[in-house]
A and B are shown apart, each in its own frame.
Chain A
Amino acid sequence: MKRREFLKNSALASSLFYVPSFVNAFNNLNLNLAGYKRLVIVQLSGGNDGLNTVVPYRNDIYYKNRPTISQKGNNILKLNDELGLHKNLAPIKNLYDKGYLSIINNVGYPNPNRSHFRSTDIWHTASNSDQYLNSGWLGRYLDSYGKTPHNAIEVDDSLSLVMKGNKLNGMAIQDAKQLFNNAQDPYFKKVLEHHNDQHLSEHNLGYLYKTMIAAENSAKYIYNKSKTYKSTQEYPNNPLGNQLKTAAEFINSGVDCKVLYTSLGGFDTHFNQIGRQERLLSVYAESIEAFVKDLEKNDTLKDTLILTFSEFGRRVKQNAANGTDHGTANNVFIIGKNLKKNGIYNEMPNLSDLDENGDLKYSVDFRRIYATILKNWMQVDDKTILNKTFKPLTFL
């Protein structure tokens, strides 16, 4: 191949994909796609302030600790006599009214870590706070129950630890077409054409070839499958809206993926929190609203569960810069159509019993939520994936 040709071809997709026998075998697996359950995760990255999201609007301690940044009673979207949602969460309030939302309070873990990195790792790997794991809980789900990388998709450019297993990794896809074009590189095809299956048994080289084949295969599958459905739902033009739109296209076109991972950044509100969090909560609520509508129109909401979490909550007492510092326990939102227990799942945070840093004490280990989802929603063995038994909750 001449250079110019090579470069030209590298950028374009053309000609048929040569499929080595290994891939054929792989494609012939007949997966039963009908009616299986999907999990969508939304990570609010940076540490969302849970107390200003689900507000204890009758609590004096709350107002005393937050003289300038507390949410005032008349704006709050009241859920019951004690708790109300931030004023910009009206779409979430609608889901609550419909019975599609379960709010779990005080979610955390023992010996909380207040570093973004570390706490995110803990949530991603489902480890104890003094334990370092190199695989994520969804990656380990893939290890045991997945068949190909695209069974777990992160709607982004690169893969987070949560999606990395010990044997199998998920796949990051921001744009199915771009990925397809990248993977359909004629030079790669040429390499694979000259590639004999016996290579695959060689330790590291075999692993590289297998991964390369999986990449081409998945990229092609996802592109062809997802282009059969174009969403007519309008989404807000923001990063989360775009990710959820892509996720809806994968779901509604029937792409064989059981986990979809999305995230929204900007929640580290150490200063001038009010305006910044307001905006973020709108972005979150409006994106979720569009997503839920889109799925509902296509009757896929009933098989989809949406989990929203943040790596930690924020300190009860505000700081001098009209913001809040890193805290501990936080609320988690579960959105779905067939929740066994919707509304406010458990007691509100106890603001008069804080830890030595002035942070909330957790009452629900986040891994109990994972266990509930794995066991009652994905219908797999949670213990294999979490390496330990956690008592399930009853929202599913």
Chain B
Amino acid sequence: MKPKHIRHLYSRGGFGINPKDFSKLQQKSKKQLVNQLFETSKNSTPVKIASFNDIKKYKDFRNLNADEKRELQKLNRKKIIELNVAWIDRIFNPNEILRERMTLFWANHFVCKAQNIFHIQQFNNILRKNALGNFGDFVKEVSKSASMIKYLNAKQNKKQSPNENFARELMELFTLGVGNYSEKDIKESAKAFTGWNHKLNGDFILRERHHDFGEKEFFNKKGNFNGEDIIDIILEQKQCAQFICEKIYRYFVNTTINTNHINEMVRVFYPNYNIEKLMRFIFMSKWFYNEENIGTKIKSPIDLLAGINNVAPYKFKSKKQLLYLQKRLGQQLLNPINVAGWEGGQSWIDTNTLMLRLKLPAILFNNAVISLAGISEFEDTYEQYLKNRKRRKSYLKIEVNETEFNSNYSNLNALQIQQHLLSGKLSEDAKVLLSNIAFDKPKDYCLQLMSLPEYQLC
């Protein structure tokens, strides 16, 4: 496969590739490379930060005294930060590369936010486990997870007083897309999900006395459907495959939909909903490597951070700083903007985020001063709020792995570095500019390339 295409495969199917790893792949064919990508993602290794022990005191929360409550919540918050950092670490140093890429994608599809660290971790690992599996099983497992049951008020959905929130989002955001179901479908299906609940350890439980065992009419079918039946009926709709294929296409291929490509994808995906098969089809297709799909997508903040890490691995000494940085860039893992998720594309960019993004390589490479404070949580007290505001300008505490950088880049010439860092087609202007930048040391050269707007694309 062409070098450019190998990089494209790894930038969309993974988080980029460094020159050393790249050199090992050069002689391989497309089929071999795509196979390898799936082969390395065959296993799913769950992230483990929290254990049930960390949260078991919540069982008796009411009876704890104020200090114990605060202590418990403090530990919980601390572990959430650790989980965020552990996830970032997966993204920066992935073994199961494609699986991690898909996990990040699904996290913005099955958008969910929870407070309980143990449930958050479970949910994150559900995404990871099902990332390349069967979409139907995936929907069911997500729907029965403690995090989702809480997030979309399934707990409050009872026979006597149905809550339609979950039923609505299931169809609008997770499976069919807005306008592809009726209000009646929502009402009827909400009945089928009544009584869905979870135990403290995250296990699903059906509270029978809250469940409506009666008849429901859903998509012109009648029966005593339960929640799983509803999901199965949704999967029968070809629109569900269409909706998922479009979303995958916009994320992995191009924000502009090509109807022919989507139709091909739907033929592969429907009715078995095998995600691995679908992704393999995309990466093996000719059009995935079309010029208009390479280097034309705006990197998400996480892509940008991972890309810079690919050039020179860096480690944050302060976990909180890494979290603040994500927030400032507009994408903090485990903290989605709303149930619809991040819109992506141009919405990542405003004048403030762009200036930060353009300076980010210089900031990270030089432990520069950056204003990362001013980010407060709603729950903060005024004292905490004041403290955050006062920390305004602080040095990033990071360690950059120069050895790793050198072993990758010290032997490359200017053109090779360019090809590695800038994936899109270079304009004549950019070429002139690049020819004016002195190639002195690889590090300086990289830094300057990474400060170009072109570097914001992948």
Are these two chains actual partners, yes or no?
A: yes
Residues of A participating in the B interface, judged by any CB pair closer than 8 Å: 1-3, 6-7, 10, 45-47, 116-118, 120-121, 130, 132, 134, 149, 156-159, 161, 164, 169-172, 174, 178, 182-183, 185, 187-188, 190-191, 194-196, 199, 203-205, 207-209, 211-212, 214-215, 218, 238-239, 264-266, 268, 271, 276, 279-280, 283, 311, 321
Q: A116-B379, A159-B353, A191-B453 are in contact. List 9 more A-B contacts (CB 8 A).
A: A3-B443, A157-B373, A158-B330, A164-B347, A185-B359, A191-B433, A208-B349, A211-B351, A266-B384
Q: Is B437 an interface residue (CB 8 A)?
A: yes
Residues of B participating in the A interface, judged by any CB pair closer than 8 Å: 66, 165, 168, 296-298, 327-328, 330, 337-340, 343, 345-347, 349-355, 358-359, 362, 366, 371, 373-376, 378-386, 389, 424, 427-430, 432-433, 436-438, 440-441, 443-444, 447-448, 451-454, 456-457
CB nearest neighbor in B for A161: B337
Which listed residue, B353, B355, B428, touches A182 by the CB 8 Å rule? B355
Give A128 Cβ to nearest chain B Cβ, in Å.
13
- Name the A residues within 8 Å of B362 (CB-CB): 7, 10
Query: 15 pairs across A/B with beta carbons < 8 Å?
Result: A132-B338, A134-B347, A157-B375, A169-B351, A174-B374, A183-B355, A194-B432, A194-B433, A204-B298, A204-B345, A208-B456, A215-B351, A265-B382, A266-B385, A279-B382
The tally of CB-CB contacts under 8 A between chains A and B is 161
Pair B354/A212 contact, Cβ less than 8 Å: yes
A199-B342 Cα distance, complex, nearest whole Å: 27
CB nearest neighbor in A for B372: A157
Pair A159/B350 contact, Cβ less than 8 Å: yes
- Name the B residues within 8 Å of A3 (CB-CB): 440-441, 443-444, 447
- Name the A residues within 8 Å of B353 (CB-CB): 158-159
Pair A205/B454 contact, Cβ less than 8 Å: yes
Pair A204/B351 contact, Cβ less than 8 Å: no
Which listed residue, A116, A211, A265, touches B349 by the CB 8 Å rule? A211
Pair A134/B381 contact, Cβ less than 8 Å: no
CB nearest neighbor in A for B443: A3
A1-B351 Cα distance, complex, nearest whole Å: 25
A215-B240 Cα distance, complex, nearest whole Å: 41
Pair A2/B444 contact, Cβ less than 8 Å: yes
> Given A182-B359, A276-B381, do A157 and B349 touch, yes or no (CB 8 Å)?
no
- Name the A residues within 8 Å of B384 (CB-CB): 266
- Name the A residues within 8 Å of B429 (CB-CB): 194-196, 199
CB nearest neighbor in B for A172: B352
Pair B352/A157 contact, Cβ less than 8 Å: yes
- Name the A residues within 8 Å of B343 (CB-CB): 134
CB nearest neighbor in A for B363: A10
CB nearest neighbor in A for B366: A7
Pair A157/B374 contact, Cβ less than 8 Å: yes
- Name the B residues within 8 Å of A205 (CB-CB): 296, 424, 427, 453-454, 457
Pair A1/B448 contact, Cβ less than 8 Å: yes
- Name the A residues within 8 Å of B330 (CB-CB): 158
> Given A6-B447, A276-B381, do A239 and B351 touch, yes or no (CB 8 Å)?
no
CB nearest neighbor in A for B338: A132
Which listed residue, A116, A156, A161, A264, touches B374 by the CB 8 Å rule? A156
CB nearest neighbor in A for B440: A2
A45-B351 Cα distance, complex, nearest whole Å: 24
Give B132 Cβ to nearest chain A Cβ, in Å.
28
> Given A157-B352, A158-B352, A205-B424, do A6 and B444 touch, yes or no (CB 8 Å)?
yes
A6-B445 Cα distance, complex, nearest whole Å: 10
CB nearest neighbor in B for A165: B350
- Name the A residues within 8 Å of B453 (CB-CB): 191, 205, 208-209, 212
A207-B349 Cα distance, complex, nearest whole Å: 9
Pair B386/A187 contact, Cβ less than 8 Å: no
Interface-central residue, A170, A203, A265, by most chain B CB under 10 Å: A265
Pair B350/A169 contact, Cβ less than 8 Å: yes
> Given A3-B447, A191-B452, A239-B385, do A171 and B436 touch, yes or no (CB 8 Å)?
no
Pair A280/B382 contact, Cβ less than 8 Å: yes
A185-B384 Cα distance, complex, nearest whole Å: 34
A188-B385 Cα distance, complex, nearest whole Å: 34
Give B133 Cβ to nearest chain A Cβ, in Å.
28
Across the A-B interface, the 10 shortest Cβ-Cβ residue pairs: A266-B382, A3-B444, A116-B378, A194-B433, A169-B350, A215-B351, A265-B385, A208-B453, A132-B340, A266-B385
A308-B393 Cα distance, complex, nearest whole Å: 28
Which listed residue, B347, B424, B448, touches A187 by the CB 8 Å rule? B448
- Name the B residues within 8 Å of A218 (CB-CB): 351
- Name the A residues within 8 Å of B436 (CB-CB): 190, 194
CB nearest neighbor in B for A178: B371
Pair B448/A6 contact, Cβ less than 8 Å: yes
Give A44 Cβ to nearest chain B Cβ, in Å.
11
- Name the B residues within 8 Å of A161 (CB-CB): 337
Pair A187/B371 contact, Cβ less than 8 Å: no
- Name the A residues within 8 Å of B457 (CB-CB): 204-205, 208
A28-B337 Cα distance, complex, nearest whole Å: 38
- Name the B residues within 8 Å of A183 (CB-CB): 355
Pair B338/A121 contact, Cβ less than 8 Å: yes
- Name the B residues within 8 Å of A280 (CB-CB): 382
Pair A276/B382 contact, Cβ less than 8 Å: yes
Pair A118/B352 contact, Cβ less than 8 Å: no
Give A232 Cβ to nearest chain B Cβ, in Å.
24
Pair B438/A1 contact, Cβ less than 8 Å: yes
- Name the B residues within 8 Å of A1 (CB-CB): 437-438, 448
Pair A171/B66 contact, Cβ less than 8 Å: no
CB nearest neighbor in A for B376: A265
Which listed residue, B339, B355, B379, touches A132 by the CB 8 Å rule? B339
